[in-house]
Amino acid sequence: MQITLLNYTELKTCAHAIRTCWQSFDKSDEGGERDKELIYRVGNKFKHASTLEHLHYTFYIQGISRATLQELARHRIASLSVKSTRYTLKELKNAESFSPLNAENLKRAEEFLVFTYNEAVDKASVMALENLRLLLQENISNDLVKFAMPESYKTELTWSINARSLQNFLSLRSSKSALWEIRNLAFALFEALPEEHRFVFEECMEGGEKNRIKLTLQERDKFKIYLEEFVKQVDRCAKIGNIKEFKIKDLESNFFDLLKGKYEVKLDVGSGRLKNDVCGIAFTRVDILGNHYANTNKPTNRQGIYIYFDYRYKDKEYYIYLGCGNETKKCKAKSFIESKNYFEGEESLDIDKILNKFLELAEEYNKIPKEDFLIL
């Protein structure tokens, strides 16, 4: 399989389309960091994905099977120009026989076929290839002969698609449940994208990117502001002895929105009165919530696996770690986390350190497969 990116739309075109709505052209930096932040925020975060349709990509895809071509055709909003069997089957007509089925002929057949590396299937494909070759030599028209083509026969195409449709394709076809060949194609297409465009698609990819926490400089500043607000509210409630004035729901909502809905956020400050000595924030992956998962439907601080910011307000110290509640049920993820030493303490409160450590732990957290959180 070989992927070549032939052409693509510059980011500034997409940014211009978005800025048309507000007539904010004067704020553009011609596809730079400011425009990239705008594209991500409007197209990905707020899901106004029609704006992403102004980004187009044209790929030359070589060496995929006709079976994968059929799957590719299910993705409607794309343009395909495919190698024609009517005009190109002469490539096989002039080939030498693939019989007998020995190592040399199997290797020759790979010029025309995508092998599955299942011996029985691959041998059957070569036999079908040889039958096709013999039919061609009988001067039967290519339009009829192609009905005898094996699904494994290689083809190539020029494929054009907009960013919104490409997001859908990558989301579905990078999944572990996708057929191996089209899954390989999904990853190859992503790798062929320009480096500066990949931020549009990273969250669509299976294997951590989907849940990956990426914060712009502005969002990093907001995260620190929300942490500082949490600390201030804890300190204020510690003085008055109760939590009546603690704006719990507002802070939880602010963190949830900032983390793009990927993490459920639970403030742990007590009920009625402030908790003794320790208050905290639990950040839990949304994709591992459910009856069959260790975190159950709703995250709690006693049951579940989460990143926990632990503020010891009497000593003005914090801990931030990836850990488990005391009542967490047995699962592979729990055993894995307990085998690691993610617990780290600091003597003094440093918001920048908290943020950097949170992002580091989030990377580790998101690498753990979803199925590892299923209750054993």
Contacts with 156 (C-beta within 8 Å, 6 or more apart), sequence order: 60, 61, 62, 63, 64, 82, 83
**Is 173 one of the catalytic residues?**
yes
- Secondary structure (H, E, C), the chain: CEEEEEEECCHHHHHHHHHHHHCCHHHCCCCCHHHHHHHHHHHHHCCCHHHHHHCEEEEEEEEEEHHHHHHHHCCCCEEEEECCHHHHCHHHHCCCCCCCCCHHHHHHHCCCECCCCCHHHHHHHHHHHHHHHHHHHCCCCHHHHHHHCCCCEEEEEEEEEEHHHHHHHHHHHCCCCCCHHHHHHHHHHHHHCCHHHHHHCHHHCCCCHHHCCCCCHHHHHHHHHHHHHHHHHHHHHHHHCCCCCCCHHHHHHHHHHHCCCCEEEEEECCCCCCCCCEEEEEEEEHHHCCCCECCCCCCCCCCCEEEEEEEECCCCEEEEEEEECCCCCCCHHHHHHHHCCCCCEECCCCHHHHHHHHHHHHHHHHHCCHHHHECC
Name the catalytic one among 66, 173, 183, 285. 173
- Cα three-residue angle 353-356-361, rounded to 5 degrees: 120
- Residue 274: partners with Cβ closer than 8 Å, 6 or more residues away: 234, 237, 238, 241, 242, 243
243 φ, ψ to 5°?
-115, 25
Among residues 321, 315, 288, which one has the least CA distance to residue 304? 288
Q: Which residues are catalytic?
A: 173
